[in-house]
């Protein structure tokens, strides 16, 4: 009870606490959210970079494995192309016996079938579309070469004009198959350029357009081999050197590029 005449007690306002902006609950909540968001973002970025790097390594490995497969399939075909330059005409001229010619032609069919089967069964990454396209072109070219060998073999079963026609058909198919193989060569070099596997990048030639009728073979010069040395092209990273040998469509000597 106040004494009569006493002064009233002064009214004091409650003390106001001023927090720094970064200590305010809403600001701290926002900062925590931003930190979590940034951490998740950086984690995903690093993860994507690593996965992208791993994916590229797998794609490069697929390209290199396909190249090696082509080299193995390419190896035994130099002798086949050598024989194809002379044996059919020798058979037509009578200087090569029927039995010897048939034996050779059966060997050509067998070797080209191995080529076609080997390329068709080669595994490539399905998500690497340019390499899948290269495989398709090599498969198409090799099956045409196989048809050429079958035509040469069938020529041993007929006489006269039909024999000449089958020899000519085989020569044409050999040329046309070589044109498709040439497109495969260009495609595989395009893929290697894209993945920086050619140093310097290979210059891509224009596709070869074959003639309807291939020119007859000419005897090779005595001082040059009929089939280019498969090892001679290994020093030129820009050349199409990783594919099975294929006849140049408008030339008389089948090309035999190899890495």
- pLDDT, tens only, 220-232: 443 433 333 333 3
pLDDT value at residue 43: 56
Q: What is the four-CA torsion angle of 214, 217, 221, 225, rounded to 10 degrees?
A: 80
pLDDT of residue 190 exceeding 70, the answer is yes
Residue 47: pLDDT band (50, 70, 90) is low
pTM summary value? 0.67
Does a cis peptide bond (omega within 30 degrees of 0) precede residue 68? no
- In the block, tokens 């080669």 appear at 122
3-state SS assignment for residue 159: coil
The length of the chain in residues reads 259
Model confidence at 102, in pLDDT bands (50, 70, 90)?
very high
Check: CB of residue 226 under 8 Å from CB of residue 212.
no
Q: Which residue has the higher pLDDT, 14 or 204?
A: 204
Q: Cα separation of 108 and 198, whole Å?
A: 33
Give the pLDDT score at 254. Answer: 38
For residue 10, what pLDDT is reported? 65
Closest CA to 184 of 109, 232, 127, 122: 122
């Amino acid at each position: 009870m106040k004494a009569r005449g006493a002064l009233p007690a002064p009214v004091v306002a409650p003390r106001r606490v001023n927090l720094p902006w970064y200590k305010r609950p809403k600001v701290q909540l926002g900062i925590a959210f931003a930190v979590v968001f940034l951490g998740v973002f950086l984690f995903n970025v690093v993860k994507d970079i690593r996965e992208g790097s791993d994916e590229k390594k797998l794609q490069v490995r697929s390209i290199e494995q396909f190249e090696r497969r082509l080299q193995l399939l390419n190896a035994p075909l130099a002798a086949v192309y050598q024989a194809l330059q002379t044996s059919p005409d020798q058979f037509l001229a009578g200087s090569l016996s029927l039995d010897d010619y048939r034996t050779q032609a059966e060997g050509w069919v067998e070797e080209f079938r191995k080529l076609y089967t080997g390329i068709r069964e080669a595994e490539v990454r399905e998500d690497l579309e340019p390499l899948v396209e290269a495989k398709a072109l090599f498969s198409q070219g090799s099956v045409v070469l196989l048809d050429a060998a079958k035509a040469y073999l069938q020529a041993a079963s007929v006489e006269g004009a039909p024999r000449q026609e089958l020899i000519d058909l085989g020569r044409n198919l050999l040329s046309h198959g070589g044109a498709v193989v040439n497109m495969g060569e260009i495609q595989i070099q395009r893929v290697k350029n894209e993945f920086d596997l050619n140093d310097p990048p290979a210059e891509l030639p224009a596709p070869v357009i074959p003639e309807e009728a291939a020119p007859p073979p000419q005897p090779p010069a005595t001082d040059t081999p009929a089939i280019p040395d498969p090892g001679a092209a290994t020093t030129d990273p820009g050349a199409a050197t990783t594919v099975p040998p294929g006849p140049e469509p408008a030339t008389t000597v089948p090309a035999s590029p190899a890495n």
